[in-house]
Structure 1
Amino acid sequence: MFNNPFIVMANSVKYSNQKYFVLAHEIGHVLEHKGLAAYYVSNNVHRRKTEREADAFAMAVITNLYVEENGKLPDTYADLRYNYGLPYLGE
């Protein structure tokens, strides 16, 4: 469809701390799910799998960002959630 994928972010996310996780998540889709249109997935099982993979990618990026900025691993998940907009567990 597009030779150069692009990511559009709503202003409500763009100007919040969630932008870090959302952008990393979407980059995970671009890198790991080539040819998959984000707005269309053939079935729920496939969608859940690709979302979990994109979440795992985003978690790795965000954790590395935290380490780069703070010189250590985060003490808690809440540190990442507060600073980089990670979703609440169970969302």
Structure 2
Amino acid sequence: MPAPVENAGMLRALDLSAEEKAAIRYLSFLTLKPTMYIANVNEDGFENNPYLDQVREIAAKEGSVVVPVLLLLKQTLPNWTTKNVTSLCRSLGWKSRA
């Protein structure tokens, strides 16, 4: 059995032929599906960031994509009014309890 399977690794790490992938597609293994890594970084973390570089290395080995983003929601959310929270929840299709 291939090492990724024995070690509970990612099936996408295997070098499967198109025929082999087609043969197991019906099983819908999540670890065979494409992956996108979303990396939340600081304002100055888009370049020369060893953590982001590590994520990029892992993604490259898997043939995955890395999308670095800057999300300030955690910092700004405490300052939001009830109206802001309600509006955000509605735009996401959630029921607001605010």
Normalising TM by the smaller chain, what interval?
A: under 0.3
Q: TM-score, structure 1 length as denominator?
A: 0.23
Q: TM-score, structure 2 length as denominator?
A: 0.21
Structure with bigger strand share is 2
